[in-house]
Structure 1
């Protein structure tokens, strides 16, 4: 039954995340047209700062609370469940307000000395309120995932992303904003409003949901202990997220400096960053929503399997998910590598993205599998391992970015190479740690079958690309994209049958 629940919840969350992914993708397309490459580049320099402070105010909270809520939900300890949510919410409120006030005060320093672009100041101020509501929303999301009500936060996320997109376009067009400073600020204003709306809906549905879980008089733990149980799990994840994001932020902010060392001026550097980060990576990362769905559901699922001592199901589940995520990355790589120019024209109406997409796609198989492996380690309670491995891979990526992007003949392409190398190293380290606890089931027969299927799909894509006329451009590329992802669909069926 647990296995059925896992794939049911994964399917629901995947549909939701695909809808959000489509909205995010549409957002990135609209963003590129509203802001232009330079504006997207500035937007991309602010985003790591936003992500960094998000980790600081609520890093690890969703995973930790979902795991605790799942344990109490599975044993019918509803008193502990509700008290865990309420005390965590109170702590998160105080913590997020304190951190946000500090961030608001130091924003001028961040704008001048970290981002090195004074046009980012208003955006930094505007996102400060969003941090409070993101933190509070994470408490309710952890609750909903823990009690297997994944539809609620999923639908709310879709609404929030839609509001964000329409609000951004509406504000920019209504006020006829033209300069980069104001258009980027309007974009982050839409983020803040979206997060407020998301929190309001989560709160309303939480109040309705908690009525179903009335304490039956069981002996409960005190609130301090319940908060400690959540924080002791969340803290390593928060430290991991903060340090990894900090290193990633340094990497992102380092890119324009290294591009200038390679001989580009500041505006051209921002344009290159906009094309690679804001456009090429948006295409490559779109299917990763499936990986994110699996990882979200996987954490409480692994926790339940361990509690019930169902190690056979645990081993089968872990092996299945790793193979599925890797094959999804392979499908993405094939499509992006074989028709990169068409993808650039299809999604962004640009003919200069082909080389960016090809380089960005190299990391897909390793990055997708690595992302799910972190979710597995989280479910296994290996937060310290996650922290160490994340820092190591982030530092490797930072060093490679510093070296490669400064070489004129490589420039921004060094970003894609560094992502692929660090993702591969991270995947190997994570698989090694997982294998200490779980026996991974990989067979030579499966490898040969998947390899033959990959060759077959490559041949089909090449044939379709050369035979279907370009005057039906949209239909042609939809057929090719579907053919590419058929590798993932067929392989997933075979992987599940063999488990």
Structure 2
């Protein structure tokens, strides 16, 4: 099947594969570098520190969802459509509008967050040790919002190498800075280590933003400024962006809110399951911040494919190329299934050894093997959501996300509080909700595209 399928690919298919492979390779590199950062950090601060780290980091996703949720995908889709029509003045003006709007919005939201930072760290996160780390996350969110806008441009123009190179640079810088600080300075406690980790994160995001700005300005020089080209008003650009981004923003907000609520709820439910608070943080560090990072590492491949898939499907839809759409959907679904099964087998067989090799700990194998069961359904559910995005089904994604979110919260609250299940309830929740997501997403896909998956 594999050889005959490859021989049937046309030039457009080959271009998609080449760009996907390029992005996958670069994303693997950045993923390895990011994972290396996690390893360095975990060896310095231990499971309790990683548990504390995991309480703060989800807030970053929540902030990005509030400020600019869905913006990168919206920009990539709109830019791809303008480029297909050679309307580069519209590209410029659309980007200027999006950047200005995101800057103003992010500064407003972050300003409110800073004023409430002490109360959030004390009463919401429920650990005042996270105060300075939380404030650094607020600052980094501004940089990430603008960087994601630039990423949308480069993905929309299919120039995937630029964000890839910048991401690699940012991850290298982050590792270098954390190693220098940890080697040169003796930090007092876990709080200091976690704060420094987020300081380095913030510096890395600022550096990325600077490079995105430079490369974006250089890239615009390639296009002629055609004054005869008909452009739109600022409100029209915002309307086009919001038509795509608002349903996605609500979806991302639901997902990130769930992620944040889950992160903050888990230690409380573990305490309800007869763990003391510090032991709960250690368990979270082992299961989520260490073991889950290993098993879900291949998700970066799914993410890379999805990033290219969305503008590619948009382009095919605008050209009414149903054959390409069907082939694309079938190929990415098969890829997700294969990757998930490989991960399952690999970590079930070598979970203990991998935990000892990476973290130098012999108590992670049971968590790694259990989390491996989550890989196939999670990977496939992620790719089905990206397919719906590419097909322009943002409202369907929102509806499905609402259903899944309610189920997730109920399962997490119920299962983790059971002493005999405790942290494994997190994994059971992923498995159950992933299968539900696959079922409802594929049902929606087949309403428009009759595609055979296997």
**3-state SS of 2:188 partner:** coil
CA distance in 1, matches of 2:157, 2:330: 25
1:5 and 2:15 aligned: yes
CA distance in 1, matches of 2:55, 2:402: 21
CA distance in 2, matches of 1:170, 1:427: 44
Counterparts of residues 405-420 of structure 1 (less than 5 Å): 405-420=416-431
Of stretches 151-160 and 380-389 in structure 1, the one that deviates more from structure 2 is: 380-389
Match of 1:96 in 2: 106
Match of 1:27 in 2: 37
CA offsets 1:350-388 (integer angstroms, 9 cap, x no match) = 110111011111110011111111111111111111112
1:381 and 2:392 aligned: yes
**Count, aligned residues:** 443
Q: What is the deviation of 1:391?
A: 2.4
CA offsets 1:189-238 (integer angstroms, 9 cap, x no match) = 01110010000000000000011122332212222211221122111111
1:152 and 2:152 aligned: no
Of stretches 161-170 and 231-240 in structure 1, the one that deviates more from structure 2 is: 161-170
Match of 2:308 in 1: 297
CA offsets 1:227-267 (integer angstroms, 9 cap, x no match) = 22112211111111112111221112111111111111111
Q: What is the deviation of 1:44?
A: 0.3
Of stretches 198-207 and 231-240 in structure 1, the one that deviates more from structure 2 is: 231-240
1:210 and 2:223 aligned: no
Match of 1:262 in 2: 273
Counterparts of residues 70-469 of structure 1 (less than 5 Å): 70-216=80-226, 217-443=228-454
Q: What is the deviation of 1:60?
A: 0.7
Of stretches 284-293 and 218-227 in structure 1, the one that deviates more from structure 2 is: 218-227
CA distance in 2, matches of 1:229, 1:99: 23
Match of 1:472 in 2: none
Counterparts of residues 46-61 of structure 1 (less than 5 Å): 46-61=56-71
**3-state SS of 2:346 partner:** helix
Q: What is the deviation of 1:414?
A: 1.0
CA distance in 2, matches of 1:413, 1:284: 14
Q: What is the deviation of 1:318?
A: 0.4
- Assess if the C-alpha contact under 8 Å between 1:77 and 1:215 holds in 2: no
CA distance in 2, matches of 1:100, 1:183: 23
TM-score, with normalisation over the residues of structure 2?
0.96
CA distance in 1, matches of 2:313, 2:104: 32
CA distance in 1, matches of 2:189, 2:453: 54
1:43 and 2:53 aligned: yes
**3-state SS of 1:221 partner:** coil
CA distance in 2, matches of 1:110, 1:47: 14
**3-state SS of 1:176 partner:** coil
CA distance in 2, matches of 1:166, 1:414: 36
- Assess if the C-alpha contact under 8 Å between 2:155 and 2:308 holds in 1: yes
Match of 2:4 in 1: none
Structure 2: 5+ residue runs without aligned partners? 1-10
CA distance in 2, matches of 1:109, 1:387: 31
CA offsets 1:423-446 (integer angstroms, 9 cap, x no match) = 111111111111111112134xxx
**3-state SS of 1:203 partner:** helix
CA offsets 1:375-428 (integer angstroms, 9 cap, x no match) = 111111111111121222222122111111111111111111111111111111
CA offsets 1:291-341 (integer angstroms, 9 cap, x no match) = 001100001000010011110110111011011112101110111112210
CA distance in 1, matches of 2:136, 2:439: 40
CA distance in 2, matches of 1:389, 1:7: 29
Match of 1:459 in 2: none
Q: What is the deviation of 1:2?
A: 2.3
Structure 1: 5+ residue runs without aligned partners? 444-499
CA offsets 1:440-474 (integer angstroms, 9 cap, x no match) = 2134xxxxxxxxxxxxxxxxxxxxxxxxxxxxxxx
RMSD: 1.1
CA distance in 1, matches of 2:441, 2:350: 32
- Assess if the C-alpha contact under 8 Å between 2:333 and 2:453 holds in 1: no
CA distance in 2, matches of 1:81, 1:116: 45
**3-state SS of 1:212 partner:** coil
CA distance in 1, matches of 2:250, 2:205: 23
- Assess if the C-alpha contact under 8 Å between 1:262 and 1:411 holds in 2: yes
CA distance in 1, matches of 2:57, 2:435: 25
